[in-house]
Amino acid sequence: MEINLREIHSPADIKGLDLEQLHLLSGELRAALMRKLSAHGGHVGPNLGVVESTVALHYVFDAPTDKIVYDVSHQSYVHKMLTGRIDAFLDPDKYDDVTGYTCPRESEYDLFEVGHTSTSIALATGLAKARDLQGGKENVVAFIGDASLGGGMALEALNYAPELRSNIIVILNDNQMSIAENHGELYNHLAELRRTNGTSHNNIFKALGYEYIYVEEGNDLRALIKAYKAAKDQPRAVLVHINTMKGHGLPCAEADKETFHYCAPFDMKTGAPTHPSQAESYDDMFALRMLERMRADRRVVTLTAGTPGAVGFGPALRHAAGSQFIDTGIAEQDCVTMAAGLAKGGVRPVMGVVATFIQRAYDQLSHDVALNNLPAVFVEFYGSLFGMNDMTHLGFFDIAMISNIPGIRMLAPATAEEFLAMLDHAIDTPDGPVVIRVPGGAVTRQDTPVNTDFSRYDIVEQGADVAIIAEGPFLATARKAAELMRAKGVTPTVINPRILSQVDAGCLDSLKSYRHVITVEDGILDGGFGQKVAAYLGTSPVKVTCLGLKKEFLDRFSVPELLRANSLTPEQIAELAN
């Protein structure tokens, strides 16, 4: 008996299989996944852990009539393999035909573009309510990991969903891990539920009105199918708690779950990266500087909301930082507001955060931090078009979001030296909140001293008639453009603004007699610093051109094409001197 994965075109093709065949299928799927992931990179651990539960899901439920909503959706690869997209997991030249997340543009089996955590139960609740209003009978399933469950919206929705008094199934994929380890007492409670084989009297899910089903062997098809069948078609909220193993079946991933949460191509036997990088990085630089600062002063702390590795704090550095390193789990709101409390309590909190995730705490930044004028520091990584390029992880909307909140100083260094000087300045000058936007792309160095008056624009090259004000990684672009302009006889002034949340009136006043001012930013134009400059200079005769990105969600773009499409290359900028 053999399973040919290429013959799996839709879940209908697995409905007739018996248990043994489903086992074989799972084995084939896992082997194919390992081949692709080791060659291509991706979310290794989450997907290897849910092979069986995904097979069982599509065996028991009838998608796309029954609706399955994945939380984060970085564990949806097997789902994609079973819903008409198997080639993208078998043929190396088709590996990039699918995104790393659910994607309605790819398939009717995918309901939402998702990439942030903690959304699935709320989305499912909406689908279930829509079904009920229209007299539908389909099942609605939210598939959520234990780490995502700790996020605020997941808990809000977990609380609300049973109030529908209607079919909604939450599958809690408990692999006992976040990206790194979990934080919060909920995880001790989940451990208690696992320890008691789901029989603990105290059961948070039962307390919240769920019918509760526990599956000890979350990688066992028979147990999963039985549980899913019990949950199916129930006219109430059911929570199926499945105990799975992240990285299941791949020894290196089972052994080092944090490294193999997401990783670049690797050797399947040793787990070693295929293309190890020795390049210096801003996250390492940040972590080392913070460690130094924390060692020198017990009142300095570093915070993260579930992404320690992304901000340079691997296990060893976390251990070294000890109680001065705080990980709230994937709970950005709690993390930002805890930083406000820490600042009020006399401590200097520095939160490292990935740009796409800081938007999960807008109210907290605005009210708890900025309105209270508390000296908390936020160091934002990948806030750049040179950062992540998945549609759900874009980092170039942050200037519009953060720089317009009153009271926040948003700083944008152009080099490593400037970054570290700003970080030290923010820690040493407790004068309200500071957000530092770490430059995207490769680390850039400067050999001149850093001008530390960060409330002022920095004139990098003094010229006349034309000025280019370019922030972050575009300062280098501007300098190249200036060189091209000089070849044409125009000597522009090149300015590094550094602060994006206010204009430097003195500097801009000095440009009113210029012919042309060009702003360049690593973000969308709308709501950005260029528009502030244009408005400030609106009553002067000087011509102002704002360069930056069009306001749109992009998916897996090519950086060079994006730069050209938005007139952001040195050559295009130089053209403007004409």
Site for a second copy in 351-370 (CB under 8 A): 359-360, 362-364, 366-368, 370
Which is nearest to 213 in space by CA: 242, 189, 253, 246?
A: 242
With respect to a second copy, which residue has the nearer C-beta, 54 or 119? 119
Q: x/- site string to a second copy, residues 416 to 455, per CB under 8 A?
A: ----------------------------------------
For position 235 contacting a second copy by CB under 8 A, the verdict is no
Q: Choose the catalytic residue: 30, 246, 289, 437.
A: 246
Query: Which amino acid, one-letter code, is at 286?
Result: F
Is-catalytic flag, 129? no
> In this structure, is the dihedral angle defined by the CA atoms of residues 59, 48, 227 and 209, taken in order, positive or negative?
negative
Which is nearest to 43 in space by CA: 66, 9, 70, 7?
A: 70
Is-catalytic flag, 360? yes
Distance CA 451, CA 283 (A): 23
First-residue to last-residue Cα distance in the chain = 72
Instruction: Kindly tell me which residue out of 551, 562, 567, 575 binds a second copy, with binding defined by CB under 8 A.
Output: 551
With respect to a second copy, which residue has the nearer C-beta, 59 or 536? 536
Q: Are 186 and 154 a contacting pair, CB within 8 Å?
A: no
Distance CA 42, CA 36 (A): 9
Distance CA 356, CA 388 (A): 9
For position 133 contacting a second copy by CB under 8 A, the verdict is yes
Distance CA 268, CA 27 (A): 16
Instruction: Kindly tell me which residue out of 53, 173, 178, 392 binds a second copy, with binding defined by CB under 8 A.
Output: 392
Instruction: Kindly tell me which residue out of 19, 255, 272, 535 binds a second copy, with binding defined by CB under 8 A.
Output: 535
DSSP designation for 310: G
Q: Which of residues 307-346 bind a second copy (CB under 8 A)?
A: 323-324, 326, 328-329, 331, 333-334, 337-346
R_g of the chain, CA atoms, integer Å: 26
Region near a second copy per CB under 8 A, out of 8-16, 86-94, 131-139, 444-452: 131-139
Task: Report, in Å, the least distance between residue 431 CB and a second copy.
Answer: 16
For position 296 contacting a second copy by CB under 8 A, the verdict is no
Distance CA 25, CA 22 (A): 5
For position 299 contacting a second copy by CB under 8 A, the verdict is yes
Strands 493-496 and 458-461: antiparallel
For position 459 contacting a second copy by CB under 8 A, the verdict is no
Instruction: Kindly tell me which residue out of 263, 524, 568, 574 binds a second copy, with binding defined by CB under 8 A.
Output: 524
Region near a second copy per CB under 8 A, out of 30-38, 188-196, 422-430, 478-486: 188-196
- E strand spans, 99-244: 140-145, 168-174, 211-215, 237-243
Region near a second copy per CB under 8 A, out of 393-401, 435-443, 447-455, 566-574: 393-401
Strands 211-215 and 168-174: unpaired
Region near a second copy per CB under 8 A, out of 1-9, 110-118, 256-264, 562-570: 110-118
For position 258 contacting a second copy by CB under 8 A, the verdict is no
Residue with tokens 């990688």: 219
- Give catalytic residue positions: 246, 332, 360
